[in-house]
Amino acid sequence: MSEAKRRGGLLLGGMALAGAAVGGSVLLRQFDAWALGLITRPERRAAVGTPRDHGLAYEEIRLRSADAVDLFGWLIPAPGGAAGHPTLILGHGFSDNSSSLLGFAAWLHGEGYNVLLLDFRGHGQSGGAWTTVGYLEHQDVGAGLAFLRERGLGQVGVMGWSLGGAVAVVSGALYPALAGVIADSTFARLASPLGRAAQMSLHHPAWLATLEGLYGERLVGRSFGFKPLDARPVSLVGRISPRPLLLIHSAEDQLIPVDNSRRLYAAAGEPKELWITPTGEHALGPWQTEPAEYRRRVLGFWARAFGAGR
């Protein structure tokens, strides 16, 4: 990043703080519009392949959320057909889409699970101009649950990475029909990755990046009509109990520090598990550095979550 751009980023951060001190100013409104777009309008990436590229039969589906967002997805039935098998809803990360999870879908399918892949609102081939970065996306999962229920598929769990992990936690708290939740490399509150992104990408000092993260979290909630305190995964995670929760994180995660999963674990009820790998990058690090152990823990978790019905 050039020195001019870095200084510009610092200036924008300073403008936000100055604007906040004189609330309602033109300066603040302009900054809010810029920041909101940066946070909630991710680049839409094209899908890289389909389930067919992994030798998987699938059905392309179109759903509509309770708040009227059109959603795109793939239903991959278990070997021998979907009936009688549990279903796992998989959630992708920010500015990504379901095609990034096809590798996970393939091995979970091979273990006898149906897999439902959904592009979250504002991502991939789904509708919606915005993402709320982890909260209102629970309605996307809710649409998936309704679809599965109509198909007679009642045993459902949810697993997500990064943004998808936050959506999984929130959805697990709000939808008792979910049998269990796995969240890999996710955040306890949105302010954490927002602040880290400001520090890493714009090279803002830690104190300013922290303030920007807090301000951004508040801005998203205010803009979409919910209270940030009520929408934070750490505020909701306790409601998943008595259904099981597995949190996975890498100690080397730079975008979402591992302390986020520790905070979620502390706030969660039993049964709960926390697995921290010593190495690995954000999101895919644990899977890439310890694939055998990752498989063992994830498959063991789902076998216990679905119990005798498995």
Class of residue 267 by CB neighbours under 10 A (exposed 0-12, middle 13-18, buried 19+): middle
User: Concatenated DSSP letters for 147-175?
Assistant: HHHHTT---EEEEEETHHHHHHHHHHHH-
Q: What is the pLDDT of residues 32-50, one digit of tens each?
A: 888 888 889 999 999 999 9
Total residues found in the chain within this entry: 310
What are 226-241's pLDDT values in tens digits?
A: 999 899 999 999 999 9
For the chain, strand residue ranges (E) read 59-64, 70-76, 87-91, 114-118, 156-161, 178-184, 245-250, 272-277
Q: Encoding tokens for residue 90?
A: 């998989």
Is residue 310 scored above 80 in pLDDT? no
Q: CATH top-level class for 51-189+235-309? A: alpha beta
- Taking CA atoms, 192 is separated from 31, 167, 180, 181, 211, in Å, by 20, 15, 25, 21, 10
Query: Tokens 């001019």 sit at which residue?
Result: 4
Distance CA 75, CA 114 (A): 7
* Coil/strand/helix, residue 247: strand
Ramachandran category for residue 173: left, alpha or beta (phi over 0 → left; psi -120 to 50 → alpha): alpha
Q: What pLDDT, on a 0 to 100 scale, did the predictor assign at position 26? A: 67
- Let me know if 173 is exposed, middle or buried by CB neighbors in 10 A (0-12, 13-18, 19+): buried
The whole-number pLDDT of residue 137 equals 97
Domain parsing of the chain, residue ranges: 3-40+193-219, 51-189+235-309
| pLDDT the model gives residue 208 | 86
DSSP 90-107: EE--TT--GGGGHHHHHH
**Average pLDDT of span 238-255:** 97
Q: Is the pLDDT of residue 28 over 60?
A: yes
Residue 122's region, left for phi above 0, alpha for psi from -120 to 50, else beta, is: left
Question: Does the pLDDT at position 112 exceed 60?
Answer: yes
d(CA 239, CA 232): 12
pLDDT tens figures, 119-147: 999 999 999 999 999 999 999 999 999 99
pLDDT attached to residue 24: 54
**Does the pLDDT of residue 184 top 90, yes or no?**
yes
What average pLDDT does the segment 1-25 reach? 46
